[in-house]
Structure 1
Amino acid sequence: MARVFYTLIYALLLPVFVARLWWRGRLNPGYRQRIHERFALFRQRPPANGLWLHAVSVGETLAAAPLVSQFRARYPACPVIVTTTTPTGSEQVQRLFGDDVLHVYLPYDLPVFWQLFLKRMRPGLLVVMETELWPNLLAACERESIPVMLANARLSEKSARGYRKFSALTFPMLQRLSLVAVQNAVDGQRFLGLGLAQERLEVTGSVKFDVSVPDDIEQQGQLLRAQWGSERPVLALASSHAGEDELLLSLYPALAQQIPGLLLLLIPRHPERFAAVAEAARAGGLPTALRSENRVAADTQVYVADSMGEMLRLLASADLVLVGGSLIPHGGHNPIEPAALGKATLMGPHHMNFAAIAESLQERGALALVSADPADLQQQLLHYLERADERQAMGGAGRRAVAENRGAVNRLTQLCAGFLKL
């Protein structure tokens, strides 16, 4: 009954969802493109019994990349379908895999669209990255006898409380999951507390520890630094959100006074913010260069990475990395990438989306937590910028921690093959 009411409300709100796409398209035109796919209208028809993987946006797509790559290498004859929700996620899929996978947007969560989608795609298994559960999607998969695995799953205490409030919807969804592969045992206990059966829970670790680091990544980072001035110290704010770039820009003059030649590298999370971040830097009177211009003057103080798909190369050029999404109540972003590169890594207080990973890295001395208070943050940044030996120790600990936690991708690949009977 709860799903009936959910479906009715969702159908009534559908015009609002479409209008929201059009509105967001003002800043990112990708939201206005291929809208028909969100109604399960597309021409593609892959062979049956393929692997269907859903990754919401950029973060989930990057997390899924090693799994897709390993699965395709082992089972090249099995088709792979990848769906996303955002245009930035779509761009990432096309950048990573090109025509090697079939990609469309995830349809709206109404039964009629799932009937069309599943009839055309005929997948053998749905793998949902992290925690993106839709009641009608899961009901449709159950009706068509398609197993569903939640992979690289995480569940914060805050999210668990939210799910409990809507248990009439969430409990049936959990019963329809064939397997939940969680990042750690703590998150696993939260799923069990919501009603997941013990035999459907598997602790596989985080696929993000299986990040692929190119052999020449340090050389790529050094080439970037050569454009800026090889001896200049570089502070990177990675995957930043509104409010965070502005905070670092406000602290920059005081930091630069103590750290001569300091370059502030800003890497906004979303492309629609590239221009706003550059404008904020220039409005503060700071000489600013853009990655797209590929020109850096000797007096450049702020470098805005207005490009996509270059995160590892950019992080490889930094001396100290502050992970964005953690200075504001967003939940934080992935600290594993800078750790894997051997970079001293910092996160703010709002890191609940990566709480277990941050705690693990912190215990190993690979990560430090900092304050969002401007005065405190300034002193903490100065502390690490002034201590090269401490940064080096953190970087070494990060590399070791990532190496010790690899293996989730291999376990998930085996689970997928088991469901697909490969």
Structure 2
Amino acid sequence: MWFFIYQLLWHLLLPLAFIRLAWRTRHSKEYLHHFAERLGFSYGKSNVQGSVWIHAVSVGETRAAQPLIDAYLARGETILLTHMTLNGRRTGAGLFSKAIAAGQLRQVYLPYDLCWAVANFIRTFKPKLGLFMETEAWPTVVFYCAEIGLPLFLVNARLSERSARRVNQFGKAGRALFQAFAGILAQTEFDAQRYRSLGVKKVEIVGNLKFDVPLDPRLVELGKAWQLELHGNQRLMVCAASTRDGEEVIILKAWKDLLLSNAFKNAPLLCLVPRHPERFSEVAKQIHEAGLRYRRRTEWHGAPQGITDIEVILGDSMGEMPMYYSAADLVLMGGSLLPFGGQNLIEACAAGCPVLLGEHTYNFQQAALDATQIGAAKRITGELVLSEPTALIESLKSLLLNTAVLAKMSSAAKAYSIEHQGATKRMLAALDQRS
């Protein structure tokens, strides 16, 4: 009965999904490209039938899937790579351009979770194996694959305590959704325990693929060149990475007060990188209203230069996080100041950059715990009051004025990143055994 109601709701809400896509065209006309794919049509002739199907909803999941996709491509497999967002598709197109050109990988949108759309999608591509990244669990897709005997796994899987409670609120229907997967390959023991609490039997811990994601050496080199210039001017840089709506105001208030404290002989630089590109202009306005001198990253080719009189750089570019991390002396992790659950700190650690975390890291609970225990990350000490973020100011000041501590944290970050590699091999072994 619940599934009938779910399908009915999808059909009723479908016009709103169309309106939402149309509304997003104010940022890019590409939102309407491949529109029919979202309804399970207009795929043309499939050249990847019998492939390994990997679903990576957006940018983060697509990057995380890179080592797994590369491993399958090296085996000679063809890949069907699906997304839900435009930015995810753009990221995949950049990462796998050679495989796409060679016809070894094809990108399409996963259709909306309607019975007829999902059935047509599966009939068109006939994948031999399905892998959903991290948290994706669409009922129609999952139950349809179980019904037809297509092995569908949830890989690099994570489940926060909050999400587990939400699933349990749906009773048997919610638990049945995760039980219908052919197996779940979890990142951590925390995640595995939560899946088991939902009655899932086939759970295995293999680690986090994000530790295996290589940093683009060209971007790392640009970042190091940028850091060298900053250090030549005796300036340190803090990268506020993947910030969310509401956090930028807090960070800018703290940064202005930090600069006014006159604690530094040479004022540090803030590089502010919002998570969602559609908010770049909004955040630029916030920096201006805060009375801070700034420039946009997109005003330069290569690493920014000639920025001695600038207090803030707005990181309004896509796909350059390795450069920002390699240039920074400290990362303030977005999504953790307000209750968004935090963002991925693994890439920052891979670049050897120490991390400062807020209170809210439930989406990356194990990673945050491990990084703080090994000394690669620290928590903001004291209560974060939004109107007067003294705790953030003091945490930033204590680290930026102690370069010996930053150097020690940097070494710990690199060690932490290396120590946790190897999830790709473990995941492939588990999939080979089960599928």
Using structure 1 for the length normalisation, give the TM-score: 0.94
Q: Report if the CA contact (8 A) 2:48-2:106 is conserved.
A: no
Aligned to 1:126: 130
Amino acid at match of 2:236: P
Aligned-pair CA distance for 1:255:
1.7
Aligned residues: 416
Pair 1:378–1:173, CA change in 2 (3 A): same
Aligned-pair CA distance for 1:221:
1.5
2:143 is the counterpart of 1:139: yes
Q: Report if the CA contact (8 A) 1:28-1:272 is conserved.
A: no
Partner SS state of residue 129, structure 2 = strand
2:420 is the counterpart of 1:405: yes
Partner SS state of residue 378, structure 2 = strand
Pair 1:88–1:372, CA change in 2 (3 A): farther
Aligned-pair CA distance for 1:25:
3.1
Amino acid at match of 2:393: Q
Q: Distance between the aligned counterparts of 2:93 and 2:112, measured in 1? A: 21
* Higher mean displacement: 371-380 or 213-222: 213-222
Q: Distance between the aligned counterparts of 2:147 and 2:307, measured in 1? A: 61
The correspondence for 2:338, drawn from 303, 311, 328, is 328
Pair 1:300–1:44, CA change in 2 (3 A): farther
The correspondence for 1:379, drawn from 381, 389, 394, is 394
Q: Distance between the aligned counterparts of 2:45 and 2:367, measured in 1? A: 38
Partner SS state of residue 258, structure 1 = coil
Q: Distance between the aligned counterparts of 1:372 and 1:334, measured in 2? A: 21
The correspondence for 2:120, drawn from 116, 123, 129, is 116
Q: Distance between the aligned counterparts of 1:405 and 1:216, measured in 2? A: 24
Aligned-pair CA distance for 1:215:
5.1
What is the correspondence of 1:16-415 to structure 2 with a 5 Å cutoff? 16-41=16-41, 42-73=43-74, 75-76=75-76, 78-98=77-97, 99=100, 100-197=104-201, 200-214=202-216, 218-225=220-227, 230=232, 231-256=234-259, 257-259=262-264, 260-294=266-300, 296-370=306-380, 372-373=384-385, 374-415=389-430
Q: Report if the CA contact (8 A) 1:211-1:340 is conserved.
A: no
Pair 1:279–1:226, CA change in 2 (3 A): farther
RMSD of aligned Cα (Å): 1.8
Partner SS state of residue 177, structure 2 = helix
Segments ≥4 residues shifted beyond 6 Å: none
Partner SS state of residue 309, structure 2 = coil
Partner SS state of residue 397, structure 1 = helix
Pair 1:317–1:6, CA change in 2 (3 A): same
Aligned-pair CA distance for 1:202:
0.7
Q: Distance between the aligned counterparts of 2:431 and 2:110, measured in 1? A: 20
Pair 1:156–1:297, CA change in 2 (3 A): closer
Q: Report if the CA contact (8 A) 1:288-1:302 is conserved.
A: yes
Q: Distance between the aligned counterparts of 1:267 and 1:101, measured in 2? A: 31
Q: Report if the CA contact (8 A) 1:171-1:194 is conserved.
A: yes
Aligned-pair CA distance for 1:23:
2.3
Pair 1:345–1:297, CA change in 2 (3 A): closer
Aligned-pair CA distance for 1:4:
1.6
Query: Unpaired runs of 5+ in structure 1?
Result: none
Q: Distance between the aligned counterparts of 2:218 and 2:408, measured in 1? A: 22
Q: Report if the CA contact (8 A) 1:2-1:168 is conserved.
A: no
Aligned-pair CA distance for 1:44:
4.5
Q: Distance between the aligned counterparts of 1:214 and 1:264, measured in 2? A: 23
Aligned-pair CA distance for 1:228:
5.3
What whole-Å deviation, never above 9, does each CA across 1:192-243 have from its counterpart, x for those lacking one? 111111xx11110111121313556653212223565643210110111122
Q: Distance between the aligned counterparts of 1:217 and 1:317, measured in 2? A: 10
Q: Distance between the aligned counterparts of 1:33 and 1:336, measured in 2? A: 33
What whole-Å deviation, never above 9, does each CA across 1:92-139 have from its counterpart, x for those lacking one? 111111215211111000110011101111101110001111111012
Pair 1:29–1:247, CA change in 2 (3 A): farther
Partner SS state of residue 93, structure 1 = helix
What whole-Å deviation, never above 9, does each CA across 1:55-99 have from its counterpart, x for those lacking one? 1111111111111112211x12x2101111111111111111121
Partner SS state of residue 128, structure 2 = strand
Aligned to 1:13: 13
Q: Distance between the aligned counterparts of 2:432 and 2:79, measured in 1? A: 12
Partner SS state of residue 149, structure 1 = strand
Q: Report if the CA contact (8 A) 2:336-2:357 is conserved.
A: yes
Amino acid at match of 1:234: M
Q: Distance between the aligned counterparts of 1:322 and 1:287, measured in 2? A: 20
Aligned-pair CA distance for 1:341:
1.4
